[in-house]
Chains A and B, each alone.
Chain A
Amino acid sequence: LAKTTQPISMDSYEGQEVNITCSHNNIATNDYITWYQQFPSQGPRFIIQGYKTKVTNEVASLFIPADRKSSTLSLPRVSLSDTAVYYCLVGDYGGGFKTIFGAGTRLFVKA
């Protein structure tokens, strides 16, 4: 299973765009990249998933370069409510697997 590396914490201000980068040098051919968000005393919430290039949904964009050894979660115009822990996961979702969460990135959004 590919290991991921993320910054421990990041600070931002309301209205700014936030980019969180995740390194996964040992990503396998059939691995997908998934990002989750977690608030205190709640379970993680799925944000976005991708395999290559760019994926965009209503809350975020995910940029994956051609070599797939890293990925960047982009949160446009963050608000105070985006203060949370963000996890990057890499795994094979095509069959049995066990999910490895790292320590995640703690994002603090300030007014």
Chain B
Amino acid sequence: DTGVSQNPRHKITKRGQNVTFRCDPISEHNRLYWYRQTLGQGPEFLTYFQNEAQLEKSRLLSDRFSAERPKGSFSTLEIQRTEQGDSAMYLCASSLAKESGGLNQPQHFGDGTRLSIL
């Protein structure tokens, strides 16, 4: 178990540019989540995947945001035409959901990608 890995750890970009973040979950985990966290606040849910299917999206996920998990393994989160308000820490988490039911396991988080918009 190497943990959830996120890259890059920091990203600085100019307003209007596109950015893409990558998340590599724990290998046997079938669920993957994206969150956004601003200073002094708890993480806010953005979206989650069960394998390669995106099952739920928050209304926070505007049409400038898109997330993919093409092969059910790693995931990418892209923000197009970045705005000042997009500056935040973007967190990825993964968990193991039992297909046959029963208690699912807690989420394991990466250390995030900190996005700064100039």
Contact = CB atoms under 8 A, between A and B. Distances in A.
Interface of A: 32, 34, 41-46, 49, 85, 87, 93-94, 96, 98-104
A36 B4 CA distance: 16
A50 B42 CA distance: 21
Contacts of B51: none
B42 A104 contact: yes
Contacts of B91: 43-44
Size class of B's contact patch?
Answer: 20 to 34
A43 B112 CA distance: 6
Nearest to A98: B45
A49 B111 contact: no
Given A43-B111, A44-B109, A94 B103 contact: yes
Given A43-B93, A46-B108, A100 B101 contact: no
A101 B109 CA distance: 13
A99 B109 contact: no
